[in-house]
Amino acid sequence: MLVLGLETSCDETGVALYDSERGLLADALFSQIDLHRAYGGVVPELASRDHVKRMLPLIRQTLAEADCVATDIDAIAYTAGPGLVGALLVGASCAQALAFAWDIPALGVHHMEGHLLAPMLEENPPQFPFVALLVSGGHTQLVRVDGIGQYELLGETLDDAAGEAFDKTAKMMGMQYPGGPEISKAAMQGVAGRFVFPRPMTDRPGLEFSFSGLKTSALNTWQQCRNAGDDSEQTRCDIALAFQQAVVETLTIKCKRALKQTGLKSLVIAGGVSANKALRASLESMLGDLRGHVYYARPEFCTDNGAMIAFAGCQRLQVGQKEDLSISVQARWPMEQLSGL
Ligand code: KG4
Ligand code: ZN
């Protein structure tokens, strides 16, 4: 089954063709980062307008790269939520219009299920059951995964998501959007030990997270330095390193706890923050000690992309799941509401 996947939940227009027999045939992405940078974050109205502009040319490009024509496509998967409603509606309308014109089924896919399954596009994919750490701009969740659609939420953030904390911390130090890659780059030049930030909620049992206090610690430290006349690049890098270390260690402690609680030894990390090299190294070291394994996607499939939507959609479309032609998207959508296969 050849599935066209469309992703438009935020600031990336992603398109891909995934075939159940041959795997991923082609994928194309247009990132709106340059468009939103001037505003220090995503402007929803601009995001929607840009998705409208990019979608059809990207579909053409993906078909050409895969050496396919429209009539080869068996079904369409699109991101139906969670995300920005205006942006989601672009992908949903486009998917349903093409599905109607081509007389094929369409299916709305959960964005976080897409992220969660993205490591399965790689060689040596994870086997069920496993624990998943979902860390993106909008989510920080630990989930027990027993199969596609069988998700048990173990813990999540009470306030900011990990990616959001990276973005806000970077912004207050005058760094560009998105902050995650900027902080991780700056952290490479940082001096370890000059600043130490708290590891939130690690001193009590449970699998919940909280990152807003950590962001405030970084802000206070930056302001104290500036008040003392030090707003140097080195200080920025030292704060970036201390912040990243605090996030990484906190996530590692909670992942270890989740593995212990479930008795599992496989950990999947997914979402934009899973591209972070320090996080990967820390989790690999922890899983090495436990004789377990950590799985993640290539960096371009950690952040938003069409391939993960085509893949997740294909799994569901193959067992006959599809929708009528109504166009409905959801800004909020708990993953536990999904059905199994
Ligand atoms: O999954 P994603 O592309 O979009 C959402 O679904 O939210 O995640 C974007 C988030 C942003 O907050 C970005 O700063 C963060 O992922 N991110 C990173 C890195 N690359 C992207 N955070 C830390 N280190 C990175 N290398
Ligand atoms: Zn995402």
> Ligand 1 atom 21: the closest Cα is on which residue?
272
Closest by Cα among 2, 7, 57, 43 to 24: 2
The pLDDT assigned to 31 comes to 98
- Quickly count: other Cβ atoms within 10 Å of residue 150's Cβ: 16
Residues 117-170: tens digit of each pLDDT: 999 999 999 999 999 999 999 999 999 999 999 999 999 999 999 999 999 999
184 is known to lie in a ligand binding site: no
- Per-residue pLDDT for 223 more than 90? yes
pLDDT of residue 314: 98
Cα 62 from Cα 17, distance rounded (Å):
7
Are 242 and 135 spatial neighbours (Cβ–Cβ below 8 Å)? Answer: no
CB 168 within 8 A of CB 215: yes
Helix or strand run (H / E) with residue 164: helix 162-172
Report pLDDT for 310. Answer: 99
Q: How many CB atoms lie within 10 A of CB 216?
A: 14
**Domains with residue ranges and CATH for the chain:** 1-115+299-335 (3.30.420.40), 126-295 (3.30.420.40)
Is the CB of 304 inside a 6 Å radius of any atom of ligand 1? yes
Ligand positioned closest to the Cα atom of 272: 1
For residues 34 and 76, the answer to whether their CB atoms sit within 8 Å is: no
Distance 99 CA to ligand 1 centre (A): 31
Q: Is the CB of 273 under 6 A from ligand 1?
A: yes
- The mean pLDDT of 226-253, rounded to a whole number, is 98
Compute the average pLDDT of residues 249-268. 98
DSSP label at residue 205: S
| Half-sphere CA count of 231, side-chain side, radius 13 A | 10
HSE (side-chain half, CA atoms, 13 Å) at 24: 21
pLDDT, average across residues 197-218: 97
Query: What's the mean pLDDT when you consider all of the chain?
Result: 97
**Can you give the pLDDT at residue 118?**
98
Contact 214, 195 (CB under 8 A): no
* Whether the Cβ atoms of residue 227 and residue 277 lie closer than 8 Å to each other: no
End-to-end CA distance of the chain: 16
Is 326's pLDDT higher than 90? no
What is the Cα 58 distance to its own chain's centre? 21
pLDDT at 311: 98
pLDDT of residue 101: 98
Q: How far apart are CA 114 and CA 305, in angstroms?
A: 9
Residue 24 to residue 2: CA distance in whole angstroms: 10
User: What pLDDT sits at residue 139?
Assistant: 97
247 and 215 in contact (C-beta within 8 Å)? no
Which pLDDT band, with edges at 50, 70 and 90, does 325 fall under? confident
Counting every residue written for the chain, the total comes to: 341
Q: Give the pLDDT band of residue 218 (cuts 50, 70, 90).
A: very high
Ligand nearest to the CA of 274: 1
pLDDT at position 125 is 98
Q: How far apart are CA 283 and CA 131, in angstroms?
A: 13
- Is residue 98 scored above 90 in pLDDT? yes
Q: Which two tokens stand for residue 84?
A: 């920005």
Contact between 51 and 29 under an 8 Å Cβ cutoff? The reply is no
Return the residue whose CA atom lies nearest to atom 8 of ligand 1.
Answer: 272
Q: Does ligand 1 come within 6 angstroms of the Cβ of 275?
A: yes
pLDDT tens digit sequence for 42-80: 999 999 999 999 999 999 999 999 999 999 999 999 999
Q: Would you list the DSSP string of 62-109?
A: HHHHTT--GGG--EEEEEEESS-HHHHHHHHHHHHHHHHHHT--EEEE
What is the pTM for the complete model shown? 0.97
pLDDT at 107: 98
Report helix, strand or coil for 133.
strand
